Amino acid sequence: MNSILDSRPALRAVIDQVAEVTGYLWQKGWAERNGGNITVNITEHADEEIKALPAIAPVRQIGKTLPHLRGQYFYAKGTGKRMRDLARQPMQNGAIIRICPDCASYEIIADEPVMPTSELPSHLALQDYLLETGSTYKATLHTHPIELVAMSHSERFLRPGEMTRVLWSMIPETLAFAPLGIGIVPYKLPGSVELADATLEQIKEHDVVLWEKHGTVAVGQDIMDAFDQTDVLCKAANIYMCARSMGFEPDGMTPEAVREVQQVFNLPTKRPS
Ligand code: 13P
Ligand code: ZN
């Protein structure tokens, strides 16, 4: 079967990277069954031929009006599809969609009429924000990282700033590579517009957003970058958990040591656009 990737090596490279990352998600145990989802903005690869492609399924509503997405193109994981299957066959387990002129609906144009993820409202709300702010980021990743989700079951770690403080203090690299920390979204129904709205507010000020008792959402230059953002924070959570398993509350780096890293490495305090 013909694929939109045929004779488009740059677009193929983007999708190959998605497939590589979904393999990692499965290996890490973050992607049980159909857990997690991905979108990548591929508009820069939409040549005239792609723009002329007809819809292959009826137009569907996003659930939100997103004014910066008019005519944008995305690769999206299919709803109900497994990351481990996507790793082998990304185009059979995801689809290319085009946002309609009303900015509130989309159509599937390739390769197959695979319905996009149920978390599309959250992904597209973030993609809209990235375009609005002139960001060069193209990818959004929702996954179920075990240690971070476990921490979200504790009222202590849901308090503003507490999870970030603890994770930063586990290892200097967490601070260096996630200088905006992790934002918390109190539990909301998966796939809901309320979840999308709350996620959008938190990503404005954080590297990664944690959905209470569910998972994370990260944005990145590409999907590898979004994966790394999540991985860095999950590693810190894992160190915290290992210390607790050994029977003690870890001391953590001192606040002075944390401040020193922030100053010496001139870490950003705002999301770069
Ligand atoms: P989808 O299969 O619809 O992408 O849903 C997976 C998920 O993790 C929902 O939060
Ligand atoms: Zn989920």
* 242-253 CB burial, b ≥16 within 10 A, e <16: eeeeeeeeeebb
214, amino acid identity: H
State the distance from the centre of ligand 2 to the C-alpha of 13, rounded, in angstroms: 26
Where residue 249 falls among pLDDT bands split at 50, 70, 90? very high
pTM of the model: 0.98
Domains and CATH numbers, the chain: 9-264 (3.40.225.10)
Query: Which atom of ligand 1 is least distant from the CA of 190?
Result: 10
Q: Tens digits of per-residue pLDDT, 178-236?
A: 999 999 999 999 999 999 999 999 999 999 999 999 999 999 999 999 999 999 999 99
Percent of the chain with pLDDT over 90: 98
Contact (CB, 8 A) for 205 and 120: no
Q: Residue 273 pLDDT > 70, yes or no?
A: no
In angstroms, rounded to a whole number, what is the distance separating the alpha carbons of residues 196 and 63? Answer: 10
* 88-122 CB burial, b ≥16 within 10 A, e <16: eebbbbbbbbbbbeebbebbbbbbbebbbbebbbb
Neighbours of 63 (CB within 10 A): 17
Q: Tens digits of per-residue pLDDT, 88-115?
A: 999 999 999 999 999 999 999 999 999 9
In angstroms, rounded to a whole number, what is the distance separating the alpha carbons of residues 71 and 46? Answer: 10
State the distance from the centre of ligand 1 to the C-alpha of 25, rounded, in angstroms: 14
In angstroms, rounded to a whole number, what is the distance separating the alpha carbons of residues 181 and 163? Answer: 8
Ligand 1 pocket member 94 (CB < 6 A):
no
